[in-house]
Amino acid sequence: MGVWRPTNRQAEGLVLLAVGGALLVAASLAVSGVLRWSDVLRWLRSWGPLAGLALVAFVCVVVGARAVRGGRGGPRAVQPIRWWVFAAAAVLVVGMTWAGVSGFLTLVPPTDPVARLEAVKTGLAVGGGAVAGMALLFTARKQWLSERTQVHTETDATERRVADLLHNAVEQFGTDKDTLVRLGGLSALELLGQEHPDMRQIVVNLVCESLVLGHPHVQVSRAAQRLLTTHLRRTSDQHWTGIDLNLTGAHLVDFDLSDCVVRTAVFTNAHFTGAATFRGAQFTEVAVFRDARFTAVVTFSGATFAGNAEFTGTRFDAEVTFDSAGFGGVTSFHRANFAGVAIFASTDFRGSTSFAESTGDATPNFFRVRCATAVNFRDARLGALGQSELDSLVAAQRAVVEPRRSFWGW
């Protein structure tokens, strides 16, 4: 037979029963003469403030526990006032009225009818004050419910309006009509993201998906790219923070992500036509360029990769520059192909770095490169240099690593 554990509602009922029982016992003692009201008043004068403070502390603990319990799993639904609340309020009012009348009658001589009448009036006034207090509490609850309903109504209206705006903008952006209509839809998406920060990642996802699917009009693709770079550039007064990019398989023309801040960037199988610029870009988590292709000059000068950076299978058809770039996590150029010159001057590799099986037509530049660990050149062939020659080249050109300092302040 298990131990009985009351529910929250049963526990509240038990507390009310205990309080009511204590009040009934006190009333019985007072009626029987065992407990005199003068003694009660004397006790209240002596211990009343402390008892009041204890009562307030108890109420705070109960309310706090209910708030914490209600915060788990989202806000609690509003419950109707239970019958025992009204019953307890009625008992409290009657008890206070009776206690007030009885208490004040003990303070006046029984032979003075005028004084006894005033004592009764004062006791009834105490009961009236209790009624007014209860009415004030119920009125406050009614007002709170009204305001809560108003807030929910306004929130629902805002969400519906945002959903309608998003639907119309997407419909306009994805239409088969002329370029101006699509550009108008793109502007509507941008305005939606600017006015509603919680919609920004959704807007970025839609723009990225449009670039992945491709547009027959180059103007629309370039405008979509500008939308991303404008709001990701940290110097912009319309900068959007905490944004992820997923441009897997996208065809990007003259892509410029310079001085932009991106949380996670995925460019797997992306095709970059024209010069691509990532100068000063910051990737705060992961950057993936697996099997991407750069057909023209590309620069990552001064870019920082706080997390892992993957260039596995990436093709660089022209010169690529990583000078003064910083890699904080695992960096992989495994099977990368460098058709032009690869410049890693003053590059800082803080994690493990691999150029295994990478190939190239020109000798890379590792002047003053910083490497926290040995670089893996297994089966690599860059220019006329194999694994051992590349190891020697890095050893000859590398700078001294300072464990507690790097150029970006880590």
Residue 203 CB partners (closer than 8 Å, separation 6+): 189, 190, 192, 193
Decide: 103 and 32 in contact? Cβ < 8 Å.
Answer: no
pLDDT for position 320: 96
Q: How is residue 240 written in tokens?
A: 């959007």
- Report which residue type is found at 174: G
Give all strands (DSSP E) within 291-393, no chain letters. Answer: 293-294, 298-299, 304-305, 309-310, 315-316, 320-321, 326-327, 331-332, 337-338, 342-343, 348-349, 353-354, 359-360, 370-371, 381-382
Whole-prediction pTM: 0.65
Q: How many CA atoms lie within 13 A of 112 on its CB side?
A: 11
**pLDDT tens per residue across span 108-128:** 787 777 777 887 787 778 777
> Quick one: pLDDT at residue 253?
94
For residues 376 and 366, give the distance between their C-alpha atoms in angstroms, rounded to a whole number. 14
Structure tokens at 111: 């032979």
Neighbouring-strand partners of residue 282:
261, 304
d(C-alpha 251, C-alpha 298), whole Å: 15
> pLDDT digits over 234-248, tens only?
988 889 999 999 999
The number of angstroms, rounded, from the C-alpha of 90 to the middle of its chain's C-alpha atoms is 46
What is the distance between the alpha carbons of residues 82 and 233, in angstroms, rounded to a whole number?
56
Q: What tens digit of pLDDT does each residue of 171-228 get? A: 666 656 677 777 777 888 888 888 888 889 988 998 898 888 887 678 888 999 999 9
Identify any residues that bridge with 365 across adjacent strands, giving them in sequence order: 343
Strands (E), 337-379: 337-338, 342-343, 348-349, 353-354, 359-360, 370-371
Q: Report which residue type is found at 102.
A: S
* Distance, CA of 202 to CA of 193 (rounded, Å): 8
Q: What is the pLDDT of residue 170?
A: 62
pLDDT lower than 70: segments of the chain: 1-78, 83-84, 155-159, 161-177, 216, 398-410
- The Cα–Cα gap between 269 and 361 comes to 22
Q: Are 382 and 364 in contact (CB under 8 A)?
A: yes
